[in-house]
Structure 1
Amino acid sequence: MEREEIICIYDEVLTGKRKQFPNEMFIGITGKQYLGYMTRYLIEEKLKIPIHEIPHKIKAETLWSHRLRPGAKAQGWKYFDLINNAYEGQFLPFDFHQVPQGYWQGEKGRHLAIEAMKYVVESKCKLPLDQIPLKVNHQFFKQHNLVGVFCLFEQSPYTAMDAVYPGVFKPWQFANVPMNCWKETKHVDETMDWLLFTQLHYKSYEEALRKIRKTHFFEYKLTGLLQVAFDYRMKNVKKWIVARLEKDNSTN
């Protein structure tokens, strides 16, 4: 059948003039073509939605309420498959507010999640590596329809980005540090050395012992470290520095 005939049948189904679609109309390659005609007709001509607005205005119930479920079911499709059939390669599942059910589940889902984050960071937002800890936060995942991905990685920007770029970042570089980070000696030691020598540019632990102030923890957004690891007490911070100094002296 030609496109005009398919659209005529679809209109008759929508208006109730025809109760259902002809048998086997949506089977095989021809059925995919017919569904493409109908999907584009619905979106562009009936609903008059510009193509670039489709991810924001089309949901599964939009398609199902306009009688496209039987065709999708015949092909074994979910709603995104129906859209992708009509607009092949123009959209990604996470462009939509409603990601297909189960899309992020299992090992395959985890791989898709990593690829999605990499695409958003590098292709969509074009973020340099050094900007990732500053820009990737809770709002970032919400803005780019990656809330499901965010949950997959314990709602931690660091954990999510570490999956995409293993070993490139440290937890404390992000505004939202993972829970229990400051209870691990390794993270405390690395962060303190980063603060003292990379950020404050001290030449030695002796200098750090003389100059470190509580305000430095606030300035570099490390209040969580000060609270959890040092109980908000500078005398505990200085005890840590003395211990590192003694350790250095014992190995020299």
Structure 2
Amino acid sequence: MLCDGEESGTQVNVLEEVQTMALPPEEISRNYRSVYAFVEQLLARRFRARGQSVDPDHPEVVELCQSVIGHPPVVELLCRQPFCPETFAPVVEQAIDAVRRALFPDVCKRRFVSLDVLNGNSSIPAAESPETEHSPAISQEREAPDAAPDWLSQETREYLRTRLLVHYPEMKRLLHRWLRQSGKNPSPAMQQQIEEKLKLFHRFYPEGKIPCTAHLDGLQDLSPEQVVQAYLNVYLGIEATFPPNFLRRNARRRAAILVRFLIDEILQTTPEDVLRRKDKSFFLRHRLQNVYRLFNYSFNRALRNAYPDRIPPWLHSRTNSHYWENPRHRAEAIRWLVEHRLQLSPRELYRRAPNRDDFAACGLSYMFNRYYNSVSWALAEAYPELEPWERGKVPFDFWNEETGARAVRWLVEKKGWSVHELPEKARSGEFNRKTFSEFGLATLFEKKFSRNLYRAVSAAWPGYFQPWEFGRVSSEYWQDAQNVYEASRWIARQEGLAETEVVPAIRQKRLTWKVLQKYSIGSALRRWCRGKLEQIFAPAYLQDYAHFLEEHRLLRRISNLKKSLSLGSLIDFILYGFFYHDTRMAAREHQQRYDRIARRIRRRLVEESP
């Protein structure tokens, strides 16, 4: 194995991606498990022949099995043919020998060390390797050409010549091996594959300097950068396998780092897209079969470990029925469907709410049918703060005086209007039936409020508005004299007149028919009173007349009081004696005070008279 240009062993063949697969992904996955068990049996048989026992779960045995399965002929065979021991045995045996020679070479003596010697049995001589001395493949690799193929892009050839081959001479052998496997005249697909592989080198090693990862040990504390580097060297074919014991420590954390690096950096796609394809050979093709095995060959669990916030447990995967017994899990699933999958705003579900098909498409049909069977009920558990009509359609029986008023107030608040603006919004056409339809309240407006804006607004703010402020009023309405008087009082308030100022304003010509014509109800009022303004303000005139009578009553009372205070008779002199003068002066002061009050009353009567 070579690191930074130094030779430390013979490099094994690189696992090339199988471009065309005759078997479906499910069959390939079953093949992988069968071949893995078959490799374990063959290795155990070899070790037992030497009197040794084998632990199939030992990290080194796992790494050895995965290296054998990762051998290109084995990969190609399990992707093309169903597993059959007779068919697979010769290829697997050759792969075991190839991996043995790659992992246990004696480079100095140009021969391979016997496994028995490595196990401590030095009495058995090591066999010479004829392949080392006479192998034409190795001699061809040593004679690999320096020139890059002409069909590579100019940028790739320049990078290969000036950087990669300079800092990593072993790349010459690796490139020659790719070319030898593709034949004398590589197909366009193979040319593209080699081009893409070299582009990965360029992207991750722009200077051509390949860091060595052969010295890493999985039992050590590896940084995320070291974990990524170890995988990248395996992915590019620089290293044959991961460092020993790679997933024996912090397995889930390292698996998450590897999967995120593969999807985000190498493939530059999304985990949702990878999961949607359901390619069972995905991890095998991308040299992460050890990660796939760690999660018991569960695509969802492997991706969810790397993307816990993006891959929920129910997405393209079966979920235990007991999982949905927890209301928190159900609410979490519904919020995920609404906010992440459908990209809907919870505050605007009245515009577009999920339906049954949306739940089924995301693997939530069991939960929906078992616990809700109603979109509105499902949304209510996930978004209890929303009003019922915000979560979708509600039955007509839901609407009553209280719920209708609450819905109208909610609508006005959503539009950002103030209450006193509503009449003007109605006159300008901004506040109408379409406004209710916009917020999913068309049924409320049409059936509960009979398409009457005034009824809708009065339900929300009783006594705040008058009927004529939101459109025409029927002629029957004006048959009631009280309604006419209320309309006249409303006009007076609009003109800034208090009730006591109405009659003087009419007498002084400040309140005329011309003023009333400014309002939409002016014509209706004029027809009702036949042009007599005093008739529509009759209650005001009655109040004015009552006030007139009260003023005259006060004048009469003042006159009587003045008469009672007059002193001048002999009886008064005898009665008051020495205090007569003081009493007479006090009576005169009271009379003057009464005179002032009487003058003010008469002045008011003159001012209020027509």
TM-score, L = length of structure 1: 0.64
Q: 1:164: how far off?
A: 2.5
| Secondary structure of 2:396's aligned partner | coil
**1: distance between equivalents of 2:395 and 2:312?**
34
User: CA 1:142/1:74 → structure 2, altered by over 3 Å: closer, same or farther?
Assistant: same
**2: distance between equivalents of 1:185 and 1:104?**
37
Deviations 1:70-101 (A, max 9, x none): 54443345312222333443x333336x4222
**1: distance between equivalents of 2:543 and 2:372?**
65
Deviations 1:209-246 (A, max 9, x none): 755235733x22225xx34x554x88345362475576
Q: 2:353 aligns with which of 58, 74, 81?
A: 58
1:107-122 equivalent positions in 2, closer than 5 A? 109-121=400-412
* Counterpart code for 2:484: V
Q: 1:124: how far off?
A: 3.7
1:200-215 equivalent positions in 2, closer than 5 A? 201=497, 203-205=501-503, 207-208=505-506, 210=509, 212-213=512-513
Deviations 1:135-155 (A, max 9, x none): 464254344433333231333
* Counterpart code for 2:420: D
Q: 2:398 aligns with which of 104, 113, 127?
A: 104
1:9-20 equivalent positions in 2, closer than 5 A? 9=317
TM-score, L = length of structure 2: 0.31
Q: 2:442 aligns with which of 131, 136, 147?
A: 147
User: CA 1:71/1:176 → structure 2, altered by over 3 Å: closer, same or farther?
Assistant: farther
Q: 1:39 aligns with which of 334, 352, 367?
A: 334
CA contact (8 A) 1:93 1:100 kept: yes
| Secondary structure of 2:506's aligned partner | helix
Paired residue for 1:130?
Answer: 420
CA contact (8 A) 2:526 2:532 kept: yes
Deviations 1:17-58 (A, max 9, x none): xxxx98xx389742x445435434444454344556544232
> Is 1:221 matched up with 2:520?
yes
CA contact (8 A) 2:485 2:537 kept: no
> Is 1:240 matched up with 2:535?
yes
CA contact (8 A) 2:529 2:535 kept: no
Q: 1:63: how far off?
A: 3.9
Paired residue for 1:8?
Answer: 316
Q: 1:191 aligns with which of 476, 484, 487?
A: 487
CA contact (8 A) 1:196 1:208 kept: no
| Secondary structure of 1:7's aligned partner | coil
User: CA 1:40/1:249 → structure 2, altered by over 3 Å: closer, same or farther?
Assistant: closer
Percent of matched pairs sharing the same residue: 15
User: CA 1:62/1:177 → structure 2, altered by over 3 Å: closer, same or farther?
Assistant: farther
CA contact (8 A) 1:104 1:112 kept: yes
| Secondary structure of 1:8's aligned partner | coil
* Counterpart code for 1:113: G
Q: 1:81 aligns with which of 367, 377, 391?
A: 377
User: CA 1:145/1:220 → structure 2, altered by over 3 Å: closer, same or farther?
Assistant: farther
Task: Say which is worse superposed, 163-172 or 131-140, in terms of deviation.
Answer: 131-140
Paired residue for 1:181?
Answer: 477
**2: distance between equivalents of 1:222 and 1:49?**
46
Q: 1:195: how far off?
A: 1.4
CA contact (8 A) 2:334 2:378 kept: yes
Q: 1:115: how far off?
A: 2.2
Paired residue for 2:58?
Answer: none
**1: distance between equivalents of 2:481 and 2:404?**
30
**1: distance between equivalents of 2:349 and 2:537?**
61
**1: distance between equivalents of 2:394 and 2:322?**
21
Paired residue for 2:467?
Answer: 171
Gaps of 5+ in 1: 11-20
CA contact (8 A) 1:37 1:86 kept: yes
User: CA 1:87/1:208 → structure 2, altered by over 3 Å: closer, same or farther?
Assistant: same
Q: 1:176: how far off?
A: 2.6
Q: 1:178: how far off?
A: 5.5
**2: distance between equivalents of 1:161 and 1:119?**
12
**2: distance between equivalents of 1:59 and 1:236?**
61
CA contact (8 A) 1:158 1:177 kept: no
Paired residue for 1:16?
Answer: none
User: Greater relative contact order: 1 or 2 (C-alpha under 8 angstroms, separation 6 or more)?
Assistant: 1
**1: distance between equivalents of 2:441 and 2:346?**
21
* Counterpart code for 1:102: F
**2: distance between equivalents of 1:88 and 1:38?**
15
* Counterpart code for 1:75: Y
* Counterpart code for 1:119: W
Deviations 1:91-143 (A, max 9, x none): 333336x42223633xxx4322222223344x545654433443464254344
* Counterpart code for 1:220: Y
CA contact (8 A) 1:104 1:148 kept: no
| Secondary structure of 2:471's aligned partner | coil
**2: distance between equivalents of 1:135 and 1:26?**
53
Structure possessing the higher radius of gyration over alpha carbons: 2
CA contact (8 A) 1:213 1:234 kept: no
| Secondary structure of 1:130's aligned partner | helix
CA contact (8 A) 2:324 2:330 kept: no
Q: 1:157 aligns with which of 437, 449, 453?
A: 453
CA contact (8 A) 2:404 2:459 kept: no
* Counterpart code for 2:444: V
CA contact (8 A) 1:208 1:241 kept: no
User: CA 1:192/1:78 → structure 2, altered by over 3 Å: closer, same or farther?
Assistant: same
CA contact (8 A) 1:214 1:234 kept: no
**1: distance between equivalents of 2:344 and 2:539?**
64
* Counterpart code for 1:134: E
CA contact (8 A) 2:389 2:440 kept: yes
Q: 1:189: how far off?
A: 0.8
CA contact (8 A) 1:63 1:79 kept: no
**2: distance between equivalents of 1:26 and 1:142?**
41
